[in-house]
Structure 1
Amino acid sequence: MHRADPDTPFSEPEIYDEVAYAYDGTLEGLLSAIFAAYERHENPTDVVPESHLQPRLGQRVAAIPTNMNHAARVLRGVKRACGWRAAHAVKQASCSDEPDAGTAAYRFVRYAMDEQKLRACDRCRKRASCKGRGGTGPCPKMRGRALSDITHPAVERLFRISRSISQECEHMRQFVRFQHLRGESEGGGTSTEVWFARVSPKASVVPLVMDHFVERLGVQPFIIYDEVHELAGVYDGGDWHLVATAGQGDLAGALPDPTADEALLSEAWRAFYRSVSVGARYHPELRRQFMPKRFWKSLTELQESPASLRRPTS
C-alpha cells in the first residue's frame, strides 16, 4: 500500500464484502481498527467493541488486536490533517456506551481524510509560503472544518456523541463528591490519607476528567471509582492511572474507614446547602434538569444527616 507519509496510514479503502470489526473497547483498540480498515483495503459495516457485537446475517466478523503503534499513527494523522478537535471527538467516542460509537468514529475519520485529499494545493495562491507541509499536504487552514459539517451523516452522529460525552464530563466535574478516608501506614511510617469518590456516569468518562481533578487537588491522593463501568482512576500525588475492577467485587467495601472529622465536615456542608437555599424559589423540574437524579445518591448535600449529629426536635 503506497503512503505519502509514513505517519499517515490512510489510503482509499475498497469494499470487498460486509465485515464487522471487533475491538477491545479501548481508545487504542478503536484506532487500531481504523488502521486495519485502511491497511486491509476494507470498508467495515460496523466497528464495535466485542461486548456490544451483534453480527448481522451473512456478516463476517474480524477481531482486531490492539496495536499501540498503529493507534498512535492514526491519532497523529487525524490530528495533523483534521485538527485537535476532531481527534478529541474520536477520543470521546471511545468512551461512549452507545453501540455505534466506534462505527461513527470510523466513518467520520474516513470522511474527514477524504475531504482533506480533495483540497489540492495546486491552484492555491499561497502555496509557496504555506506553513503547513510545503503545499503538498492537508491545508492547515481547513483543519477542523470536517467536524463543523454537522449536516453530513458521517459527521452528525459523531458530533452528537461528542456533545453527549462533553455534557457528561461537565456533570462529573460538578457533582463528584469526595470522602476523606484514613490512610494505612506500613512499618510505623506516616500514613497517607486519601479522598474517595463513587460515581455512576452513563459513559466511561473517568479518563477524561482525571486531569481536571489532579489540577484541583494538587498533590493530594484521590480515587474516583466508576461503579457502572468497573473502572477506578487512582492518583498517588504524582501521576494517575486507571485500574480495572471487573471481578474484584465492590471497591468501596475494601477501603479504609472515614477520618474522624469526615462526618462533621459532611454535616457542615449539608448545613451550608440548606442555609443558601430559598424555599420560595424551589423548582423541582428545573432542579432535575440541571442536576440529574442519577447523581443524587452520591451528593453529600442530599443525603440524610447521621442520627448522632441530628439536632433533637422539640
Structure 2
Amino acid sequence: MVVFVCEDSPEGIFTGVYDAWNSRLGHENVRLEVQGEYNYSLFSEYREVAVDRLKAQKVVRSVRRSLSELAYSWIYRTALSEREDRAEAVYRFLVCGFSAGAAGRRITENLQIPAVQTVFQINRAVANEAHLQTEFLRFAEYSDHVLFSEIGPKNRVTALLMPYFTDRLPSEPFIIYDKNHQEAGVWTGKGRWYMMRGAETEPLQALSGRTDQSEYAALWSAFFHQIGIKERENPACQRMHLPLRYRKYMTEFQFGSNRSNLAKL
C-alpha cells in the first residue's frame, strides 16, 4: 500500500488526488492521508505530496466538467472538515464518480454507495456548521474602523463564510479569525478577500479573547437579558438551538447576565 500524505488544505488534498491517480498503482493500492493525522503502518510506503496549484486546478476542472458543480462543492467542503479520513473520502468519491462514465454526472444521487454516502455526510456537517456561524458570528469594531470577529468552529468554515459577509458588508473592512485552526479571512472593503494561515495570523492573536466593550455592545447585551421572561426560560431548549460552544464568542453572553449594563450607559 502506498500512502500519499497531503497538506491539510483543499489544494493539498486535490494535489494528492492528482498524484495518487497519476501514479498508476491502482486505486486499491493507494490511500490518501492528511499530514499529522495518520498512524504509520509497517508495510506501507509513504510519499509526501507537495502542494501544486496547477495540479489542484486540473482536478477541480475535471470534477466540474465530468461530474458536476454540486460534486465539486461536496468534495470542497469535505476537504475543509476535521474528519481524519477526509482526504481518503474525497479520493474514493472521485474514483466512483469518474469510473461511472456518463452516469458520473449523477454521482451525488447515488447515496447507496458507501463512498458517496460518506462524502455526503461530511459535506452536510460542514455546511450546517457554516450556516450556524452566519447566524451566531458577532463583529466588534476595533482600531482603524476594522470589524473583527473571533470564532472557534470544529471545521475550517472561514472560507465558506467570507462570500456571505463580503456580500452583506461590501464597504466594511473586516477580519474573521478562526482561533481553533489559526486562520483568518480578510476583506479590505475592495478587491478580493483572502485567507491568512499559520504564522500569518500571529498579529491577530492579540485581539483573541477580547470582549467588545463599546456602548452598543453593552446595550445589546442588556437588551438581550432584559427581554427574557423568567417564567418562560427553558435552558435545555436554548442549548438545542444555540449550543454552548458558540456562546463564548457572542457579545450577548460575554457580558454575562448582569442587568446593570443599562445603568452604565
Do the two structures share a fold, i.e. TM-score over 0.5?
Answer: yes
Q: Could you tell me whether the CA contact under 8 Å between 2:218 and 2:255 is conserved in 1?
A: no
Q: Could you tell me whether the CA contact under 8 Å between 1:75 and 1:87 is conserved in 2?
A: yes
| Counterpart selection for 2:238 from 281, 287, 299 | 287
- SS state of the match for residue 52, structure 1? coil
Deviations 1:255-286 (A, max 9, x none): 9x999xx5210112123323443433322222
Give the letter for the 1:240 counterpart.
W
Give the letter for the 1:268 counterpart.
L
Q: Could you tell me whether the CA contact under 8 Å between 1:21 and 1:61 is conserved in 2?
A: yes
Matching residue of 1:266: 217
Q: Would you say 1:35 and 2:37 are equivalent positions?
A: no
Deviation at 1:181? 0.7
- SS state of the match for residue 96, structure 1? coil
Deviations 1:91-135 (A, max 9, x none): 1111111110110000000001111x2xxxxxxxxxxxxxxxxxx
Q: Would you say 1:195 and 2:147 are equivalent positions?
A: yes
Matching residue of 1:240: 193
TM-score, scaled to structure 1: 0.76
Q: Could you tell me whether the CA contact under 8 Å between 1:178 and 1:195 is conserved in 2?
A: yes
- SS state of the match for residue 147, structure 1? helix
Aligned residues: 259
Matching residue of 1:121: none
Give the letter for the 1:28 counterpart.
E
Matching residue of 1:120: none
Deviation at 1:24? 1.1
Q: Could you tell me whether the CA contact under 8 Å between 1:82 and 1:113 is conserved in 2?
A: yes
Matching residue of 2:113: 152
Deviations 1:136-175 (A, max 9, x none): xx36xx62x2112122111111111001001110111011
Deviation at 1:216? 1.0
Deviation at 1:245? 3.6
Give the letter for the 1:180 counterpart.
E
Structure number with the higher helix fraction is: 2
Q: Would you say 1:74 and 2:35 are equivalent positions?
A: no
Give the letter for the 1:26 counterpart.
S
State the Cα RMSD in Å.
2.4
Matching residue of 1:125: none
Matching residue of 2:250: 299
Give the letter for the 1:173 counterpart.
T
- SS state of the match for residue 80, structure 1? helix
Give the letter for the 1:68 counterpart.
R
TM-score, scaled to structure 2: 0.89
**Pairing of 1:9-20 with structure 2 (within 5 A):** 18-20=1-3
Matching residue of 1:161: 122
Alpha carbons of 1:247 and 1:206: their partners in 2 closer, same or farther (altered >3 Å)?
Answer: closer
Give the letter for the 1:156 counterpart.
Q
